[in-house]
A and B are shown apart, each in its own frame.
Chain A
Amino acid sequence: MTDAKFYEQTWDLQYKHALGETTSRFLEGLTQQKIWGRRTTDGRVLVPARSYDDQTHMPTGEWVEVGNSGTIEMFTIVYEPFKGLPVPPYALVYVLLEGADTALVGYLKGLDLKNQKDAIAALGIGTKVYVHFSKTPVGSAADYWFELSK
Protein backbone atom coordinates (compact mmCIF):
# COMPACT_ATOMS: atom_id res chain seq x y z
CA MET A 1 0.00 0.00 0.00
CA THR A 2 1.17 3.51 -0.79
CA ASP A 3 2.23 5.57 2.23
CA ALA A 4 -0.75 7.51 3.52
CA LYS A 5 -0.58 11.23 2.74
CA PHE A 6 -2.04 13.99 4.92
CA TYR A 7 -3.06 17.60 4.42
CA GLU A 8 -2.64 19.83 7.44
CA GLN A 9 -4.45 23.12 7.91
CA THR A 10 -5.22 25.73 10.53
CA TRP A 11 -8.25 28.01 10.39
CA ASP A 12 -7.33 31.52 11.50
CA LEU A 13 -10.50 33.54 11.12
CA GLN A 14 -11.06 37.06 12.47
CA TYR A 15 -14.33 38.63 13.57
CA LYS A 16 -15.36 41.89 15.24
CA HIS A 17 -18.83 41.28 16.67
CA ALA A 18 -21.11 44.23 17.44
CA LEU A 19 -22.61 43.56 20.86
CA GLY A 20 -25.59 45.91 20.60
CA GLU A 21 -27.03 48.41 23.08
CA THR A 22 -28.17 46.03 25.84
CA THR A 23 -25.00 43.94 26.12
CA SER A 24 -22.85 47.05 25.76
CA ARG A 25 -24.62 48.76 28.67
CA PHE A 26 -24.22 45.63 30.85
CA LEU A 27 -20.51 45.48 30.07
CA GLU A 28 -20.13 49.22 30.75
CA GLY A 29 -21.75 48.57 34.14
CA LEU A 30 -18.95 46.13 34.98
CA THR A 31 -16.42 48.98 34.70
CA GLN A 32 -18.48 50.77 37.42
CA GLN A 33 -18.63 47.59 39.53
CA LYS A 34 -22.35 47.14 38.87
CA ILE A 35 -24.30 44.12 37.62
CA TRP A 36 -27.37 45.04 35.60
CA GLY A 37 -30.39 42.97 34.68
CA ARG A 38 -33.54 43.66 32.68
CA ARG A 39 -37.08 43.08 33.90
CA THR A 40 -39.42 40.91 31.83
CA THR A 41 -43.10 41.65 31.27
CA ASP A 42 -43.95 39.06 33.96
CA GLY A 43 -41.57 40.60 36.46
CA ARG A 44 -38.50 38.33 36.29
CA VAL A 45 -35.06 39.91 36.23
CA LEU A 46 -32.75 38.49 33.55
CA VAL A 47 -29.03 38.60 34.42
CA PRO A 48 -26.98 39.21 32.42
CA ALA A 49 -29.26 41.79 30.82
CA ARG A 50 -30.99 40.69 27.67
CA SER A 51 -33.33 42.74 25.50
CA TYR A 52 -35.90 39.96 25.07
CA ASP A 53 -37.32 37.15 27.18
CA ASP A 54 -36.72 33.47 26.37
CA GLN A 55 -40.02 32.45 28.02
CA THR A 56 -42.47 34.99 26.54
CA HIS A 57 -40.62 36.22 23.45
CA MET A 58 -41.50 39.79 24.59
CA PRO A 59 -39.01 42.66 24.89
CA THR A 60 -37.66 43.28 28.38
CA GLY A 61 -38.02 46.77 29.85
CA GLU A 62 -36.68 48.35 33.03
CA TRP A 63 -32.99 48.13 33.92
CA VAL A 64 -32.53 46.64 37.41
CA GLU A 65 -29.27 46.70 39.36
CA VAL A 66 -28.86 43.42 41.23
CA GLY A 67 -26.67 42.58 44.23
CA ASN A 68 -22.98 41.75 44.04
CA SER A 69 -23.40 38.60 46.07
CA GLY A 70 -25.42 35.45 45.59
CA THR A 71 -25.39 31.67 45.67
CA ILE A 72 -23.90 28.97 43.45
CA GLU A 73 -26.53 27.13 41.38
CA MET A 74 -24.11 24.76 39.64
CA PHE A 75 -20.37 24.33 39.31
CA THR A 76 -17.64 22.26 37.72
CA ILE A 77 -13.88 22.11 38.15
CA VAL A 78 -11.93 21.40 34.98
CA TYR A 79 -8.74 19.32 35.23
CA GLU A 80 -8.32 18.32 31.58
CA PRO A 81 -6.44 20.57 29.16
CA PHE A 82 -8.35 21.41 25.95
CA LYS A 83 -6.54 22.86 22.96
CA GLY A 84 -7.29 26.56 22.59
CA LEU A 85 -8.80 26.81 26.09
CA PRO A 86 -7.06 27.90 29.33
CA VAL A 87 -4.62 25.73 31.26
CA PRO A 88 -6.46 23.78 34.00
CA PRO A 89 -7.41 23.53 36.76
CA TYR A 90 -10.14 26.16 36.82
CA ALA A 91 -13.59 26.32 38.39
CA LEU A 92 -16.71 27.56 36.59
CA VAL A 93 -19.88 28.52 38.44
CA TYR A 94 -23.38 29.77 37.68
CA VAL A 95 -24.48 32.19 40.36
CA LEU A 96 -27.94 33.51 41.23
CA LEU A 97 -27.22 37.06 42.42
CA GLU A 98 -29.52 38.80 44.92
CA GLY A 99 -32.48 40.19 43.01
CA ALA A 100 -31.84 38.13 39.88
CA ASP A 101 -34.00 35.29 38.53
CA THR A 102 -31.39 33.80 36.21
CA ALA A 103 -27.80 32.80 36.93
CA LEU A 104 -24.64 34.50 35.74
CA VAL A 105 -21.67 32.38 34.62
CA GLY A 106 -18.11 33.12 35.62
CA TYR A 107 -14.82 31.77 36.94
CA LEU A 108 -14.64 30.97 40.64
CA LYS A 109 -11.21 32.19 41.73
CA GLY A 110 -9.33 32.29 44.99
CA LEU A 111 -9.83 28.61 45.82
CA ASP A 112 -6.98 26.11 45.72
CA LEU A 113 -8.06 23.53 43.13
CA LYS A 114 -5.01 21.27 43.23
CA ASN A 115 -6.57 18.94 45.79
CA GLN A 116 -9.71 17.90 43.94
CA LYS A 117 -11.49 16.43 46.95
CA ASP A 118 -10.99 19.53 49.12
CA ALA A 119 -11.96 21.89 46.29
CA ILE A 120 -15.20 20.02 45.61
CA ALA A 121 -16.02 19.97 49.31
CA ALA A 122 -15.70 23.77 49.42
CA LEU A 123 -18.33 24.24 46.71
CA GLY A 124 -21.99 23.32 46.55
CA ILE A 125 -25.38 24.51 45.46
CA GLY A 126 -26.26 27.33 47.82
CA THR A 127 -22.63 28.23 48.62
CA LYS A 128 -22.38 32.01 49.03
CA VAL A 129 -20.11 33.92 46.68
CA TYR A 130 -19.57 37.52 45.65
CA VAL A 131 -18.63 39.26 42.43
CA HIS A 132 -15.02 40.38 42.28
CA PHE A 133 -14.43 43.15 39.75
CA SER A 134 -11.20 43.63 37.86
CA LYS A 135 -9.23 46.68 38.92
CA THR A 136 -8.33 47.24 35.29
CA PRO A 137 -11.64 46.71 33.47
CA VAL A 138 -11.67 46.59 29.68
CA GLY A 139 -15.46 46.50 29.16
CA SER A 140 -15.78 42.77 28.57
CA ALA A 141 -17.29 39.85 30.46
CA ALA A 142 -13.74 39.08 31.64
CA ASP A 143 -14.02 42.12 33.96
CA TYR A 144 -15.59 40.06 36.76
CA TRP A 145 -15.28 36.70 38.44
CA PHE A 146 -16.62 35.13 41.61
CA GLU A 147 -14.93 34.42 44.94
CA LEU A 148 -16.19 32.61 48.02
CA SER A 149 -17.83 34.90 50.58
CA LYS A 150 -15.76 35.24 53.73
Chain B
Amino acid sequence: MTLDNVGIIGFGQSKFVKTRIDVTFPELVREGATMALENAGISIDDVDAVVYPLAPDALIGVGNGERWVIDALGAVGKPFMRVNNGGATGMSAVLTAWTHIASGLFDVVLVAGADRVSESSSAQSVLNKMWDVGYERPVPLNTITMLALSAQRYMHLYDSDETDMAMVSVKNRYHASLNPNAHLQSTVTIEEVLASRTLAWPIKLMDACPASTGAAGLVLVSERYAKKNGLKPAWIRGLGQNSETYWMGNRVGPKAMGDHADADALAVAFQRAYDQAGITNPREQVDVAEIYAPFSSVELHVIEAAGIADKGKSPAALANGDYTLGGNGVTVNPSGGTQCTNPIAVTGLIRVGEAANQVLGLAGAHQVKGARVAIASAIGGDHQFYSTMVICSDLEEI
Protein backbone atom coordinates (compact mmCIF):
# COMPACT_ATOMS: atom_id res chain seq x y z
CA MET B 1 0.00 0.00 0.00
CA THR B 2 1.35 3.40 -0.95
CA LEU B 3 0.79 6.08 1.65
CA ASP B 4 0.51 9.78 0.87
CA ASN B 5 3.14 12.05 2.41
CA VAL B 6 1.79 14.20 5.23
CA GLY B 7 3.08 17.61 6.25
CA ILE B 8 2.48 20.13 9.04
CA ILE B 9 1.56 23.61 7.79
CA GLY B 10 0.41 25.27 10.99
CA PHE B 11 1.20 25.16 14.70
CA GLY B 12 -0.33 27.40 17.31
CA GLN B 13 0.09 27.44 21.07
CA SER B 14 -0.90 29.82 23.83
CA LYS B 15 1.32 31.14 26.59
CA PHE B 16 1.05 28.42 29.23
CA VAL B 17 0.24 29.44 32.77
CA LYS B 18 -1.16 27.95 35.96
CA THR B 19 -4.69 29.31 35.65
CA ARG B 20 -6.85 31.20 33.15
CA ILE B 21 -10.07 32.73 34.42
CA ASP B 22 -10.83 34.86 31.35
CA VAL B 23 -12.19 31.95 29.31
CA THR B 24 -14.26 28.79 29.68
CA PHE B 25 -12.67 25.48 28.78
CA PRO B 26 -14.29 25.39 25.29
CA GLU B 27 -13.19 28.98 24.70
CA LEU B 28 -9.66 27.90 25.51
CA VAL B 29 -9.93 25.00 23.05
CA ARG B 30 -11.12 27.47 20.41
CA GLU B 31 -7.92 29.45 21.00
CA GLY B 32 -5.85 26.41 20.07
CA ALA B 33 -7.90 25.77 16.94
CA THR B 34 -7.85 29.42 15.85
CA MET B 35 -4.12 29.87 16.41
CA ALA B 36 -3.35 26.74 14.40
CA LEU B 37 -5.61 27.80 11.51
CA GLU B 38 -4.19 31.34 11.47
CA ASN B 39 -0.65 30.02 11.51
CA ALA B 40 -1.52 27.72 8.60
CA GLY B 41 -3.13 30.60 6.73
CA ILE B 42 -6.39 28.71 6.16
CA SER B 43 -9.93 28.91 7.50
CA ILE B 44 -12.08 26.26 9.17
CA ASP B 45 -13.90 25.86 5.83
CA ASP B 46 -10.69 24.39 4.37
CA VAL B 47 -10.58 21.66 7.04
CA ASP B 48 -11.86 18.20 6.04
CA ALA B 49 -11.83 16.56 9.48
CA VAL B 50 -11.02 17.33 13.11
CA VAL B 51 -9.20 15.21 15.71
CA TYR B 52 -9.46 16.19 19.36
CA PRO B 53 -7.04 15.12 22.10
CA LEU B 54 -8.39 14.81 25.63
CA ALA B 55 -7.08 12.65 28.49
CA PRO B 56 -9.33 11.54 31.42
CA ASP B 57 -12.66 13.39 31.63
CA ALA B 58 -12.28 13.63 35.40
CA LEU B 59 -9.35 16.04 35.00
CA ILE B 60 -11.61 18.66 33.40
CA GLY B 61 -14.65 17.63 35.45
CA VAL B 62 -16.98 17.21 32.46
CA GLY B 63 -18.01 13.81 31.16
CA ASN B 64 -17.34 13.13 27.48
CA GLY B 65 -15.55 16.45 27.15
CA GLU B 66 -15.53 16.09 23.34
CA ARG B 67 -19.24 17.01 23.36
CA TRP B 68 -18.47 20.27 25.15
CA VAL B 69 -15.92 21.53 22.62
CA ILE B 70 -17.33 20.44 19.26
CA ASP B 71 -18.46 23.99 18.37
CA ALA B 72 -15.27 25.53 19.71
CA LEU B 73 -13.29 23.35 17.32
CA GLY B 74 -15.44 24.28 14.33
CA ALA B 75 -16.10 20.56 13.87
CA VAL B 76 -19.87 20.73 13.36
CA GLY B 77 -20.66 19.21 9.95
CA LYS B 78 -17.26 17.51 9.74
CA PRO B 79 -15.90 14.03 10.55
CA PHE B 80 -14.69 14.12 14.16
CA MET B 81 -12.79 11.85 16.51
CA ARG B 82 -11.63 12.15 20.13
CA VAL B 83 -8.37 10.47 21.09
CA ASN B 84 -7.31 9.51 24.64
CA ASN B 85 -4.01 7.75 25.24
CA GLY B 86 -3.06 9.25 28.60
CA GLY B 87 0.09 11.38 28.41
CA ALA B 88 0.55 10.30 24.79
CA THR B 89 -2.88 11.70 23.88
CA GLY B 90 -1.62 14.78 22.03
CA MET B 91 0.75 12.81 19.83
CA SER B 92 -1.71 9.95 19.31
CA ALA B 93 -4.15 12.57 18.02
CA VAL B 94 -1.55 13.81 15.51
CA LEU B 95 -0.90 10.20 14.52
CA THR B 96 -4.64 9.74 13.98
CA ALA B 97 -4.69 12.82 11.75
CA TRP B 98 -1.70 11.40 9.86
CA THR B 99 -3.58 8.15 9.15
CA HIS B 100 -6.61 10.17 8.03
CA ILE B 101 -4.44 11.88 5.39
CA ALA B 102 -1.90 9.16 4.55
CA SER B 103 -4.80 6.84 3.71
CA GLY B 104 -5.91 9.29 1.03
CA LEU B 105 -9.23 9.94 2.76
CA PHE B 106 -8.64 13.61 3.65
CA ASP B 107 -6.37 16.47 2.55
CA VAL B 108 -6.57 18.85 5.54
CA VAL B 109 -7.01 17.80 9.18
CA LEU B 110 -7.09 20.04 12.26
CA VAL B 111 -5.87 18.69 15.61
CA ALA B 112 -6.50 21.06 18.50
CA GLY B 113 -7.24 20.98 22.19
CA ALA B 114 -6.44 22.41 25.60
CA ASP B 115 -6.06 21.56 29.24
CA ARG B 116 -6.27 23.31 32.56
CA VAL B 117 -5.00 20.75 34.98
CA SER B 118 -4.94 23.07 38.00
CA GLU B 119 -8.75 23.44 38.00
CA SER B 120 -8.93 20.16 39.88
CA SER B 121 -7.08 19.98 43.17
CA SER B 122 -7.63 16.22 42.94
CA ALA B 123 -5.45 15.50 39.88
CA GLN B 124 -3.29 12.84 41.54
CA SER B 125 -6.39 11.27 43.08
CA VAL B 126 -7.90 11.09 39.57
CA LEU B 127 -4.69 9.56 38.22
CA ASN B 128 -4.58 7.05 41.11
CA LYS B 129 -7.73 5.54 39.58
CA MET B 130 -5.59 4.08 36.77
CA TRP B 131 -4.57 1.10 38.90
CA ASP B 132 -6.16 -2.32 39.27
CA VAL B 133 -9.17 -2.33 41.58
CA GLY B 134 -8.45 -5.77 43.02
CA TYR B 135 -4.72 -5.73 43.50
CA GLU B 136 -3.28 -2.22 43.49
CA ARG B 137 -5.89 0.33 44.53
CA PRO B 138 -5.32 -0.12 48.30
CA VAL B 139 -1.81 1.21 47.62
CA PRO B 140 -1.67 4.96 46.80
CA LEU B 141 0.11 4.82 43.44
CA ASN B 142 -0.01 7.89 41.22
CA THR B 143 1.89 9.29 38.23
CA ILE B 144 4.63 10.69 40.48
CA THR B 145 5.22 7.52 42.48
CA MET B 146 5.17 5.32 39.36
CA LEU B 147 8.05 7.31 37.90
CA ALA B 148 9.85 7.68 41.24
CA LEU B 149 9.99 3.86 41.25
CA SER B 150 11.47 3.93 37.75
CA ALA B 151 13.97 6.64 38.71
CA GLN B 152 15.11 4.74 41.79
CA ARG B 153 15.65 1.63 39.70
CA TYR B 154 17.55 3.58 37.02
CA MET B 155 19.84 5.08 39.68
CA HIS B 156 20.56 1.63 41.06
CA LEU B 157 21.18 -0.09 37.71
CA TYR B 158 23.41 2.63 36.27
CA ASP B 159 25.07 4.03 39.39
CA SER B 160 23.36 7.35 38.76
CA ASP B 161 22.33 9.88 41.41
CA GLU B 162 20.01 12.81 42.09
CA THR B 163 22.55 15.26 40.67
CA ASP B 164 22.14 13.59 37.28
CA MET B 165 18.42 14.31 37.46
CA ALA B 166 19.10 17.88 38.60
CA MET B 167 21.28 18.49 35.52
CA VAL B 168 18.27 17.70 33.34
CA SER B 169 16.13 20.20 35.26
CA VAL B 170 18.78 22.92 34.94
CA LYS B 171 19.03 22.36 31.17
CA ASN B 172 15.28 22.31 30.60
CA ARG B 173 14.61 25.37 32.74
CA TYR B 174 17.32 27.26 30.83
CA HIS B 175 15.73 26.23 27.53
CA ALA B 176 12.26 27.23 28.79
CA SER B 177 13.60 30.66 29.75
CA LEU B 178 14.14 31.21 26.01
CA ASN B 179 10.64 29.99 25.07
CA PRO B 180 7.96 32.69 25.46
CA ASN B 181 5.17 30.05 25.56
CA ALA B 182 6.70 27.91 28.32
CA HIS B 183 5.01 27.75 31.73
CA LEU B 184 8.10 27.65 34.01
CA GLN B 185 10.45 30.28 32.66
CA SER B 186 12.88 30.89 35.50
CA THR B 187 16.27 29.25 35.50
CA VAL B 188 17.41 27.08 38.42
CA THR B 189 20.73 25.77 39.71
CA ILE B 190 21.68 22.21 40.59
CA GLU B 191 21.83 23.22 44.25
CA GLU B 192 18.29 24.65 44.12
CA VAL B 193 16.94 21.48 42.49
CA LEU B 194 18.63 19.26 45.07
CA ALA B 195 17.33 21.45 47.92
CA SER B 196 13.73 21.50 46.65
CA ARG B 197 11.29 19.44 48.70
CA THR B 198 10.88 15.73 48.10
CA LEU B 199 7.59 14.66 46.49
CA ALA B 200 8.28 10.93 46.13
CA TRP B 201 11.95 10.13 46.51
CA PRO B 202 14.03 10.52 44.37
CA ILE B 203 11.67 12.97 42.61
CA LYS B 204 11.74 16.46 44.07
CA LEU B 205 9.63 19.52 43.24
CA MET B 206 12.14 20.89 40.73
CA ASP B 207 12.41 17.52 39.00
CA ALA B 208 8.68 17.67 38.29
CA CYS B 209 6.49 19.26 35.63
CA PRO B 210 3.89 21.90 36.52
CA ALA B 211 0.12 21.54 36.06
CA SER B 212 -0.33 23.79 33.04
CA THR B 213 -3.22 25.65 31.44
CA GLY B 214 -3.27 26.53 27.78
CA ALA B 215 -4.19 25.45 24.26
CA ALA B 216 -2.45 24.22 21.14
CA GLY B 217 -3.29 23.04 17.65
CA LEU B 218 -1.77 21.70 14.44
CA VAL B 219 -2.89 21.62 10.81
CA LEU B 220 -1.79 18.62 8.76
CA VAL B 221 -2.10 18.38 4.98
CA SER B 222 -1.48 15.91 2.17
CA GLU B 223 1.44 16.36 -0.20
CA ARG B 224 -0.95 17.04 -3.09
CA TYR B 225 -2.67 19.82 -1.11
CA ALA B 226 0.70 21.35 -0.19
CA LYS B 227 1.87 21.27 -3.82
CA LYS B 228 -1.40 22.62 -5.17
CA ASN B 229 -1.22 25.57 -2.76
CA GLY B 230 2.53 26.17 -2.94
CA LEU B 231 3.08 25.35 0.75
CA LYS B 232 6.34 24.30 2.43
CA PRO B 233 5.36 22.04 5.35
CA ALA B 234 7.44 20.20 7.90
CA TRP B 235 7.13 16.59 6.74
CA ILE B 236 6.31 13.62 8.96
CA ARG B 237 8.83 11.09 7.69
CA GLY B 238 8.41 8.30 10.19
CA LEU B 239 6.05 7.19 12.96
CA GLY B 240 6.19 4.49 15.58
CA GLN B 241 3.98 3.18 18.34
CA ASN B 242 4.39 0.53 20.95
CA SER B 243 2.80 -0.59 24.20
CA GLU B 244 3.93 -2.05 27.50
CA THR B 245 2.23 -4.29 30.07
CA TYR B 246 -0.26 -2.80 32.54
CA TRP B 247 1.65 -4.28 35.49
CA MET B 248 4.70 -2.42 36.81
CA GLY B 249 5.59 -5.55 38.78
CA ASN B 250 5.97 -7.43 35.47
CA ARG B 251 8.76 -5.03 34.45
CA VAL B 252 11.32 -6.29 36.95
CA GLY B 253 13.13 -9.57 37.49
CA PRO B 254 15.13 -11.74 35.09
CA LYS B 255 12.14 -12.83 32.99
CA ALA B 256 10.68 -9.37 32.32
CA MET B 257 10.27 -8.23 28.70
CA GLY B 258 11.41 -4.72 29.59
CA ASP B 259 12.79 -3.07 32.70
CA HIS B 260 10.88 -0.32 34.51
CA ALA B 261 14.21 1.51 34.86
CA ASP B 262 14.36 1.91 31.09
CA ALA B 263 11.89 2.64 28.33
CA ASP B 264 12.52 -0.49 26.27
CA ALA B 265 9.15 -0.45 24.53
CA LEU B 266 9.77 3.18 23.55
CA ALA B 267 13.10 2.15 22.00
CA VAL B 268 11.14 -0.21 19.73
CA ALA B 269 8.74 2.60 18.81
CA PHE B 270 11.71 4.85 17.94
CA GLN B 271 13.24 2.09 15.81
CA ARG B 272 9.96 1.74 13.89
CA ALA B 273 9.96 5.47 13.12
CA TYR B 274 13.67 5.43 12.23
CA ASP B 275 13.17 2.49 9.85
CA GLN B 276 10.37 4.34 8.07
CA ALA B 277 12.40 7.55 7.84
CA GLY B 278 15.66 5.87 6.84
CA ILE B 279 17.53 6.86 10.00
CA THR B 280 20.33 4.42 10.79
CA ASN B 281 22.43 6.55 13.16
CA PRO B 282 20.29 8.98 15.18
CA ARG B 283 23.32 10.52 16.91
CA GLU B 284 24.54 11.77 13.54
CA GLN B 285 21.31 12.19 11.59
CA VAL B 286 19.03 13.85 14.16
CA ASP B 287 19.52 17.54 14.98
CA VAL B 288 16.90 18.08 17.65
CA ALA B 289 14.67 16.00 19.93
CA GLU B 290 11.38 17.08 21.51
CA ILE B 291 10.79 14.12 23.80
CA TYR B 292 8.07 13.72 26.39
CA ALA B 293 9.55 13.65 29.89
CA PRO B 294 7.38 15.05 32.70
CA PHE B 295 10.13 14.41 35.24
CA SER B 296 13.88 14.94 34.91
CA SER B 297 14.52 11.25 35.53
CA VAL B 298 12.37 10.25 32.56
CA GLU B 299 14.40 12.33 30.10
CA LEU B 300 17.52 10.28 30.88
CA HIS B 301 16.06 6.96 29.78
CA VAL B 302 14.10 8.48 26.88
CA ILE B 303 17.34 9.90 25.44
CA GLU B 304 18.69 6.36 25.65
CA ALA B 305 15.55 4.80 24.13
CA ALA B 306 15.94 7.24 21.24
CA GLY B 307 19.39 5.82 20.58
CA ILE B 308 21.08 9.14 21.31
CA ALA B 309 23.03 7.55 24.19
CA ASP B 310 23.70 3.99 25.36
CA LYS B 311 21.73 2.75 28.37
CA GLY B 312 22.92 4.49 31.53
CA LYS B 313 25.20 6.84 29.61
CA SER B 314 23.04 9.94 29.16
CA PRO B 315 24.03 11.54 32.51
CA ALA B 316 27.72 11.53 31.57
CA ALA B 317 26.96 13.03 28.16
CA LEU B 318 24.79 15.71 29.77
CA ALA B 319 27.59 16.56 32.20
CA ASN B 320 29.84 16.87 29.17
CA GLY B 321 27.62 19.59 27.65
CA ASP B 322 25.56 17.44 25.30
CA TYR B 323 21.82 18.02 24.69
CA THR B 324 21.96 21.74 25.62
CA LEU B 325 21.30 24.52 23.09
CA GLY B 326 24.63 25.46 21.57
CA GLY B 327 26.23 22.32 23.03
CA ASN B 328 27.36 19.06 21.46
CA GLY B 329 25.28 16.57 19.53
CA VAL B 330 21.50 16.35 19.45
CA THR B 331 19.76 19.21 21.28
CA VAL B 332 17.15 17.74 23.61
CA ASN B 333 13.97 19.64 24.46
CA PRO B 334 15.05 23.13 23.37
CA SER B 335 11.52 24.31 24.24
CA GLY B 336 12.07 23.32 27.87
CA GLY B 337 9.91 20.29 27.21
CA THR B 338 7.17 18.67 29.22
CA GLN B 339 9.12 19.28 32.42
CA CYS B 340 8.44 23.02 32.06
CA THR B 341 5.00 22.91 30.40
CA ASN B 342 2.49 20.09 30.84
CA PRO B 343 -1.06 20.76 29.65
CA ILE B 344 -1.69 17.01 29.58
CA ALA B 345 -4.11 16.71 26.61
CA VAL B 346 -1.90 18.71 24.22
CA THR B 347 1.57 18.01 25.62
CA GLY B 348 2.30 15.39 22.94
CA LEU B 349 0.92 17.69 20.24
CA ILE B 350 3.28 20.46 21.36
CA ARG B 351 6.25 18.07 21.00
CA VAL B 352 5.32 17.62 17.32
CA GLY B 353 4.66 21.34 16.82
CA GLU B 354 7.97 22.35 18.40
CA ALA B 355 9.78 19.75 16.27
CA ALA B 356 8.08 21.16 13.16
CA ASN B 357 9.04 24.71 14.13
CA GLN B 358 12.65 23.62 14.58
CA VAL B 359 13.02 22.08 11.11
CA LEU B 360 11.27 25.08 9.55
CA GLY B 361 13.58 27.50 11.39
CA LEU B 362 10.65 29.11 13.23
CA ALA B 363 11.59 28.37 16.86
CA GLY B 364 12.89 31.85 17.70
CA ALA B 365 15.26 32.17 20.66
CA HIS B 366 15.30 28.41 21.23
CA GLN B 367 16.01 27.57 17.58
CA VAL B 368 18.64 24.88 16.98
CA LYS B 369 20.83 26.36 14.29
CA GLY B 370 20.37 24.69 10.91
CA ALA B 371 18.04 21.97 12.22
CA ARG B 372 16.73 19.74 9.44
CA VAL B 373 15.74 16.47 11.16
CA ALA B 374 13.81 16.37 14.43
CA ILE B 375 12.36 13.57 16.51
CA ALA B 376 9.38 13.76 18.84
CA SER B 377 7.92 11.29 21.31
CA ALA B 378 5.19 10.94 23.90
CA ILE B 379 4.38 8.52 26.70
CA GLY B 380 0.97 7.64 28.12
CA GLY B 381 -0.41 5.60 30.98
CA ASP B 382 2.09 4.10 33.37
CA HIS B 383 4.94 4.18 30.82
CA GLN B 384 2.61 2.10 28.71
CA PHE B 385 1.67 3.82 25.47
CA TYR B 386 4.47 5.14 23.32
CA SER B 387 4.40 7.33 20.19
CA THR B 388 7.36 8.53 18.15
CA MET B 389 7.86 10.67 15.05
CA VAL B 390 10.59 11.80 12.71
CA ILE B 391 10.00 15.25 11.21
CA CYS B 392 12.09 16.77 8.44
CA SER B 393 12.17 20.02 6.49
CA ASP B 394 12.12 18.16 3.16
CA LEU B 395 11.35 14.86 1.45
CA GLU B 396 14.94 14.14 0.41
CA GLU B 397 16.93 11.20 1.75
CA ILE B 398 17.82 11.60 5.45
Give residues in A with beta carbon < 8 Å to B. Answer: 4, 6, 9, 11, 17, 19-20, 23, 26-27, 44, 46-48, 50, 54-55, 73-80, 82-86, 90, 92, 94, 96, 101-107, 116, 120, 124-125, 140-142
Selected contact of B121 from candidates A17, A44, A74, A83, CB within 8 Å: A83
For B128, the chain A residues whose CB sits under 8 A away are 82, 84-85
Q: Is there contact, CB below 8 Å, between A96 and B133?
A: no
Chain B residues with CB under 8 A of A73: 153, 249, 252-253
Query: With A9-B61, A120-B201, A125-B156 given, can you name 4 additional A-B contacts, CB distance below 8 Å?
Result: A17-B133, A76-B145, A141-B134, A142-B138
A82 touches B133 (CB 8 A): no
Which segment of B31-39, B90-98, B192-200 sits at the interface?
A: B192-200
**Which of B58, B122, B153 meets A83, CB within 8 Å?**
B122
Sorted from nearest, which 5 A-B pairs have the closest CB atoms? A84-B125, A103-B249, A76-B148, A23-B134, A73-B252
With A74-B149, A74-B260 as contacts: A102 and B247 at CB distance below 8 Å: yes
Count of residues in B whose CB is under 8 Å from the partner chain: 47
Known: A74-B149, A75-B152. A101 touches B139 (CB 8 A): no
Residues on B with C-beta less than 8 A from A54 are 245-247, 250
Determine the residue in chain B with the shortest Cβ distance to A78: B200
Cα distance A46–B251 in the bound complex, in angstroms? 12
Which B residues between 313 and 364 are near A, CB-CB below 8 angstroms?
A: none
Residues of B within 8 A of A (CB): 21-22, 58, 61, 121-122, 124-125, 128, 133-142, 144-145, 148-150, 152-153, 156, 197-203, 245-250, 252-257, 260
Within the assembled complex, what's the spacing in Å between the Cα atoms of A19 and B22?
45
Give the docked Cα–Cα distance between A55 and B265 (Å): 13
- Report A-chain residues with C-beta under 8 Å of the C-beta of B138: 140-142
- Determine the chain A residues whose CB is within 8 A of the CB of B22 once the complex forms: 4
Tell me, in angstroms, the Cα distance from A44 to B246 when the chains sit together: 17
Contacts of A20 in B (CB 8 A): 134
Number of A-B contacts (CB under 8 A): 134
Known: A92-B145, A141-B139. A82 touches B153 (CB 8 A): no
Query: Given A101-B255, A125-B153, A141-B134, A79 and B124 touching (CB < 8 A)?
Result: no
Q: For the complex, what is the distance from the CA of A19 to the CA of B249, rounded to whole Å? A: 19
Residue of A6, A19, A92, A107 with most partner-chain B CB within 10 A: A92
Q: What is the CB-to-nearest-CB distance from B35 to chain A, in angstroms, rounded to a whole number?
A: 23
Write out the residue numbers on chain A whose beta carbons fall within 8 Å of the beta carbon of B122: 83-84
Q: A9-B61, A19-B133 are in contact. Are A106 and B139 (CB under 8 A)?
A: yes
Which chain A residues border B256 with CB–CB below 8 Å?
A: 102
| Cβ B61 vs Cβ A79 within 8 A | no
10 contacts between A and B (CB under 8 A): A54-B250, A75-B149, A83-B125, A92-B141, A92-B145, A94-B249, A102-B256, A105-B141, A120-B201, A140-B138
In the complex the two chains form, is A77's CB within 8 Å of B200's CB?
yes
Q: Is the CB of A141 within 8 A of B201?
A: no
Q: What is the bound-complex CA distance between A29 and B257, given in angstroms?
A: 28
